[in-house]
Amino acid sequence: MQNIRTPLLLVISTFLVLYLYTKLAGPIPFSVNSIQTTKANLFSVNGTGKATGIPDTALLTLGVTKTTSTVLDAQNQTNTASNKIIEDLKALGIEEKNIKTVNYSVNPNYDFNGRNQRITGYTVSQTLEVNIKPIDTANKAIDSATLNGANIVGSVSFIFDDETRKKLEDDARKEAVVKAREKAESLAKATGIRLGRIVDVQESGIFEPQPFGRAQTLEIAEDQSTTQLQPGENSINLTITLFYETL
């Protein structure tokens, strides 16, 4: 009986001491350290993909500039010619939303002979940006505009519509990823690095439609028959960077 009482008294004494301690000194401090580990050294490699296609849309600028002795006369002549150009563009099937005025300016012309400069007239200019699909319609648009008084034919850019562009971007992206993976595996094998999982992906893209000046894009025959635009090919280039953990 004595052997049983001794351990029991010891346990009771221990709990009594703990009880008195918490009452007098407060709860016993207890903490857990939370440690989050991340890979500080990442292995990165990039690959570039390229997809080429024939542009299906032309972006061109057309305009009228008139110089007369009065502002009103110059405005009237410019507006009349511009309105006629816009009407004929619509008649070709070009929607109004694809015809945008990008410049309208009124500038005085000066005579600087003698001591006092004087205004000799005014120049009024209006420039339109026209988004045209298909490109064959752009040939007709330029011919129609010049017949109706357009004396500004600016740069021509050949671009892709949204659907074509998206498909080409997807093709370029897939090629870029494949090349990046192949490069990573090759470098890892050559250097003895063990690759882990891909933890980040970054993409950068470059697409620059090629602008052409009027003299380069307008092929006028001797009989002044028709304009012939040659779109050629455009490319979409995407660069993909893969970030690997290393083991």
What is the pLDDT at residue 205? 76
Cα dihedral 101, 81, 145, 213 in deg (nearest 10): -60
Q: Which among 146, 130, 151, 144 is positioned nearest to 57, based on CA atoms?
A: 130
Please determine, for residue 10, whether its predicted confidence score (pLDDT) is greater than 80.
no
CATH architecture, range 39-56+160-247: 2-Layer Sandwich (3.30)
pTM: predicted TM-score of the whole model, two decimal places: 0.62
pLDDT tens track for 77-94 = 999 999 999 999 999 999
Task: Give Cα 78 distance to the centre of its chain.
Answer: 34
pLDDT tens track for 226-247 = 777 777 788 899 999 999 998 8
Q: What band does 157 get if pLDDT is binned at 50, 70 and 90?
A: confident
Q: Exposed, middle or buried, 27 (CB in 10 Å: 0-12/13-18/19+)?
A: exposed
What's the CATH number for 59-159?
3.30.70.2970
Q: Exposed, middle or buried, 232 (CB in 10 Å: 0-12/13-18/19+)?
A: exposed
Query: Do the two domains 39-56+160-247 and 59-159 of this chain adopt the same fold?
Result: no
Q: What band does 210 get if pLDDT is binned at 50, 70 and 90?
A: low
C-alpha 42/C-alpha 19 separation (Å) is: 53
What does the domain layout of the chain look like in residue ranges? 39-56+160-247, 59-159
Task: Give Cα 246 distance to the centre of its chain.
Answer: 33
pLDDT tens track for 159-196 = 888 899 999 999 999 999 999 999 999 999 999 989 99
